[in-house]
Amino acid sequence: MAKLLEVNNLHTRFKVRNGYLHAVNGVSFSLDKGEMLGVVGESGCGKSVSMMSLIRLLPPAAQITEGEVLLDGEDITHASVSRVNAIRGSKVGMIFQDPMTSLNPFMKIGDQLIEGIVYHKKITKADALQQAAKYLKMVGISNAEHRLNEYPHQLSGGMRQRVMIAMALLNEPSLVIADEPTTALDVTIQAQIVELVKSLREKLNMSIIWITHDLSLLAGMVDRIMVMYGGYVVEEAVLDDIYKSPLHPYTIGLLKSIPSLKTEAGSRLPSIPGAPPNLFSQPTGCPFAPRCTYRVDRCQSEVPALTAVPGETGERPHRVACWVDMRGKGVKQ
C-alpha cells in the first residue's frame, strides 16, 4: 500500500526553567493510506507531543530539534507557517480529548463547524452550512439543521465529541489524529464513538492515528500499534503480534497488569514495579531499565535501537527496542 506519512528520527523538547524536558527522543514510523495506527503509552510518554509535532501544534516552549516528516511525499519538516496552516484542518484533521474545552462556548455549532472549510476552500457560507449538516448527520446527530443553531452547552458530552469528529472530517482530510477522543466519555458512549469511527473510516478511506493510554480499547479497532515509553518508541507491530507475542518487557508488563473480564479475579495482579521516568534527565540506557525485571548490564549503558524482527502474523516486521531477546517469553497464557 502507498505510504501517506513517514516520520524519521523526530526529537521534541520543552524549554523549562532549569534546562530541557526531553519529551520525544527519536521517533520514527510510517503510516499507509487508509491504515489505522494506535499509539499507546502512559501520561508523559510523549505520545501526544510526538503526534502534535507532525503538524507543529505545540506550545511556544516546545522545540523540534531534529527529524523529518514526509506527508504524502511532501517534506513538511521546515514548511512555512502558511503552508502548515494550509495543511492543518484540511489534509490533517484533529480530534481532541475534551470536547467541552475544545469547542468555543460563545459560538454556534454551525459557525464553528464551517470555520475550517471556509478558511480552506472557496465556498459560500450557505453551502458550507449545508455541508456541515450533512456531516452532522453522518456522525449520527439527528435534527442536524436545528443543531447548527445551538450552542455547545446544549449538547451532551457524547454529542459534543460527535461534533468534534464532524469538524475534523469536514475538509475530507487524508489523515486524522485523534488524541484520546474517548477518555473523557463513559464506557457506553465510548463504544458508540468507536463504532462510529470504524464505520466512517471504511466509508471515507482515511488514515487514522488514535492516541490512547488504554491498550484494551485498541484491540478491536486498529491495524497496528506503537508503544511509547519515556519519549521513545519501544515496540511497534501489527495488532495480533502486540497482543499475542509482545516482545518488549514494558508491553508484556502492561498487558499482564490490566485486569480483564476474563482473567481470574481476586488474585494478585502482576504489576510493574517503580514509577514512570523523569524526563528532565536523559537516560544513559534504556528508559525502562530501572523498572525492568529482565535487565542486563548493557541496558543501563546503551539505549537499544528499534530493530525489526520478522512478525508472527502477516508481512509486516515487528519492531522492538530491547537488548534482551524476549521471543517466547511474553506469550499470553
Closest to other proteins by CB, 35 or 171:
35
Closest to other proteins by CB, 117 or 237:
237
Determine the distance from the C-alpha atom of residue 34 to the mean position of all C-alpha atoms in its chain, rounded to a whole number. 15
Cα–Cα distance measured from residue 167 to residue 224, given in angstroms and rounded to the nearest whole number: 25
Q: Which of 145, 172, 195, 325 binds other proteins (CB under 8 A)?
A: 195
Helix (H) or strand (E) holding 251: helix 249-257
Q: Which of 9, 65, 101, 263 binds other proteins (CB under 8 A)?
A: 263
Identity (one letter) of the amino acid at 213? H
CB of 188 to other proteins, least distance (A): 5
User: In degrees rounded to 5, what are phi and psi of residue 13?
Assistant: -135, 160
Q: DSSP per residue over 189-213, as a string?
A: HHHHHHHHHHHHHHHHT-EEEEEES
The single-letter DSSP state of residue 88 is: B
**Considering only 2-10, 80-88, 126-134, 183-191, which stretch makes contact with other proteins by CB under 8 A?**
183-191
Cα–Cα distance measured from residue 211 to residue 42, given in angstroms and rounded to the nearest whole number: 11
CB of 248 to other proteins, least distance (A): 13
Cα–Cα distance measured from residue 172 to residue 162, given in angstroms and rounded to the nearest whole number: 16
Task: Name which of residues 17 to 76 contact other proteins (CB under 8 A).
Answer: 42-43
CB of 187 to other proteins, least distance (A): 5
Cα–Cα distance measured from residue 147 to residue 129, given in angstroms and rounded to the nearest whole number: 11
Determine the size of the site formed for other proteins (CB under 8 A). Answer: 48
Residue 267, classed as helix, strand or coil, is: coil
**Considering only 3-11, 53-61, 113-121, 185-193, which stretch makes contact with other proteins by CB under 8 A?**
185-193
From 246, 208, 207, select the one nearest 229 (Cα to Cα): 246
- Angle at CA of residue 215, ends 209 and 217, nearest 5°: 75
Residue with cell 439527528: 142
CB of 51 to other proteins, least distance (A): 19
First CA to last CA across the chain, in angstroms? 34
Task: Name which of residues 106 to 165 contact other proteins (CB under 8 A).
Answer: 156-159
CB of 19 to other proteins, least distance (A): 19
- With beta carbons less than 8 A apart as the criterion, state whether 252 and 330 touch: yes
Q: Which of 58, 191, 204, 309 binds other proteins (CB under 8 A)?
A: 191
CB of 282 to other proteins, least distance (A): 19
CB of 305 to other proteins, least distance (A): 23
Query: Is residue 265 within the footprint of other proteins (CB under 8 A)?
Result: yes
Say how many C-beta atoms besides its own lie within 10 A of residue 50's C-beta. Answer: 29
Closest to other proteins by CB, 82 or 142:
142
Task: Name which of residues 266 to 325 contact other proteins (CB under 8 A).
Answer: 266, 268-273, 275-276
CB of 322 to other proteins, least distance (A): 17
Contact residues: other proteins, CB under 8 A: 42-43, 156-159, 186-192, 194-195, 213-217, 219-221, 239-240, 243-244, 250, 253-255, 257-263, 265-266, 268-273, 275-276
